[in-house]
Amino acid sequence: MSTQSQLNGLLERDWSYRETLAGGAVGIFLVITMLGLVFPQSIWANLFEILTDRSTLSSALRLSVPIVFAALGGIFAEKSGVINIGLEGLLIISAFVAILVPAVLGPEGTTLFLPNLWVGFLAGILASVLFAALFAVVCIRYKADQIIAGLAVWLIALGLAPFSATVYYGGVNTDYIGTTLPTWEIPLLSDLPFFGAVFSATPAVYAMLIAVPAAWFVLNRTSFGGHVRASGENPRALDTVGVDVSRVRYASALLSGFLTGIGGAALSLGLGQFLGNNQTMVNGKGFIAIVAYLFGNYNPFGAFGASFLFAGLEAVQIRLQQIQGYAVPDELIQTIPYVTVLVVLALVGRTRIPKAAGEHYDSGED
Flag whether pLDDT at 5 surpasses 60. Answer: no
Given pLDDT bands bounded at 50, 70 and 90, which one contains residue 350? low
On average, the pLDDT of the chain sits at 86
Given pLDDT bands bounded at 50, 70 and 90, which one contains residue 2? very low
Choose the weakest-confidence range: 46-60, 73-87, 175-189, 318-332: 318-332
Report the Cα 211 to chain-centroid distance in Å. 12
Choose the weakest-confidence range: 54-63, 284-293, 308-317, 340-349: 340-349
Question: What whole-number distance in Å separates Cα of residue 151 and Cα of residue 94?
Answer: 17
Flag whether pLDDT at 366 surpasses 70. Answer: no
- Burial (Cβ within 10 Å: 0-12, 13-18, ≥19) of residue 122: middle
Distances (CA, A) of 192 to 199, 200, 203: 9, 10, 19
Classify 257 as helix, strand or coil: helix
Please report the pLDDT score of residue 6 as a whole number.
44
The H or E element containing residue 31 is helix 3-38
Residue type, 235: P
- Residues 131-172 have pLDDT tens digits of 999 999 999 999 999 999 999 999 999 999 999 999 999 999
Given pLDDT bands bounded at 50, 70 and 90, which one contains residue 261? very high
Q: Return the half-sphere exposure (C-beta side, CA atoms, 13 A cut-off) of residue 51.
A: 17
Question: What whole-number distance in Å separates Cα of residue 62 and Cα of residue 296?
Answer: 20
Please report the pLDDT score of residue 306 as a whole number.
87
Q: Give me the count of residues in the chain.
A: 366
Please report the pLDDT score of residue 12 as a whole number.
45
**Do the strands 184-185 and 114-115 form a parallel or antiparallel pair, or are they unpaired?**
unpaired
From the candidate CATH numbers 1.10.375, 3.30.70, 1.10.10, 1.10.3470, the one assigned to the domain spanning 66-347: 1.10.3470
**pLDDT mean over 206-227:** 97
Question: What whole-number distance in Å separates Cα of residue 155 and Cα of residue 150?
Answer: 9
